[in-house]
A and B are shown apart, each in its own frame.
Chain A
Amino acid sequence: MDKIYWISLLLSQAGETQESAQEPDFRYHVWLAYALVLVLLAGFTMWTVVQVRGAQKRMEHLEERLNRTTAGKSKSAS
């Protein structure tokens, strides 16, 4: 007997294969679980990357402001 791989079963129409006719159809659950994992992983990564970029920009801006203020104060003191 040929081995069955899940990809062929998941991509087939309901009731198309003998296996899916005999067993309950869990394709919806498998797709949902895999999509949930990938969305959470990608979402978490993107969220952190955006957060890091924003914080880096803000830090550069603040450092520049701090340097300008320090330079201005030392000029007025001299």
Chain B
Amino acid sequence: MTMESLLSIGVSIGFVVLCVLLHRIALAAHLLIGFGLVVGTLYLVCFHAPLEEVTLGTSYLIFYFHFPSAISCLTIFVIAGVVSVLQLKSGSLSHDRRASSAVEVGLLACTITLGTGMIWAEAAWGQPWVWHDPRLMTVAIMWLTYVGYLMFRAAVDNPVKRARYSAVLGVMFSINVPVVWFAIRFFGKVSHPMEIEFAEDVRTIMKTTQWFGAAAFFILYLGLWRLRYRAQTIHGELERIGETFAARKI
């Protein structure tokens, strides 16, 4: 095992521990740290990463905001799938709220990925969308399925039924995540690249900026997940009080 891979494993473990620790601090502080790190990414892009990419011109700078949202959205949808499995096992409504709030935040990240991707495609390919590109189409399908998930939740009133059916959908839809990840390997490259190759002399700076951005956005999305969970918990309480009112005929 090389020194570089050992370092990557160490950093990954450290990052997971950091994310767990962040869940123990106050939500407002978590969100402030998240937004601060995103601004830090912007600072790195502005004053740290040199302009060396020649093939795509300056349009490649969109990558520093496109990639973090893409990787976060896939991770968050996997988390939603895992929590949905837990919900099916336990029947807990708090797991249902966790899964659905993860889907909401994942959908935000997916929308940002699609939006920045389309702007970048307009610059790099001359058109915002390529219909036969496997990566683009699988992400679009993923976006639509999760919009359907939220529409389904809004349509079902019974909280127990809503939780169970949503969990089934959450598990089903998370199967699409590996399809998105391996789309280019499965179906071949059309327009979307597998990854961006940086010149050797600036590779370290650019990779550092790229992965710092990914960590920053992920920490912010975790904070937003907590915020959405709080909103859904209060909403659940409101539903419960409403039922009490109805039962007592107030």
Contacts and interface: CB of A to CB of B under 8 A. Distances in A.
**What secondary structure prevails in chain B residues at the interface with A?**
helix
A52 B57 contact: no
A58 B230 CA distance: 15
Interface in A20-65: 23-24, 26-27, 29-30, 32-34, 36-38, 40-41, 44-45, 48-49, 51-52, 55-56, 58-59, 62-63, 65
A56 B220 CA distance: 23
Interface residues of B, number: 44
Contacts of A51: 231
Nearest to B58: A26
A6 to B, nearest CB: 5
Contacts of A34: 42, 62, 65
B61 A6 contact: yes
B228 A48 contact: yes
A69 B59 CA distance: 63
B241 interface: yes
A4 B49 CA distance: 9
A59 B234 contact: yes
B231 A33 contact: no
Interface residues of A, number: 37
B250 interface: yes
B28 to A, nearest CB: 10
B238 interface: yes
A33 B238 contact: no
B36 to A, nearest CB: 13
A20 B133 CA distance: 30
Contacts of B122: 29
B150 to A, nearest CB: 14
Given A52-B234, A59-B238, A26 B47 contact: no
B88 interface: no
Contact of A33 (B46, B47, B65): B65
A24 to B, nearest CB: 6
Contact of A7 (B46, B62, B241): B46
B121 to A, nearest CB: 10
B234 to A, nearest CB: 4
B112 interface: yes
A66 interface: yes
Contact of B123 (A29, A45, A48, A59): A29
Interface of A: 3-7, 9-10, 19, 23-24, 26-27, 29-30, 32-34, 36-38, 40-41, 44-45, 48-49, 51-52, 55-56, 58-59, 62-63, 65-66, 69
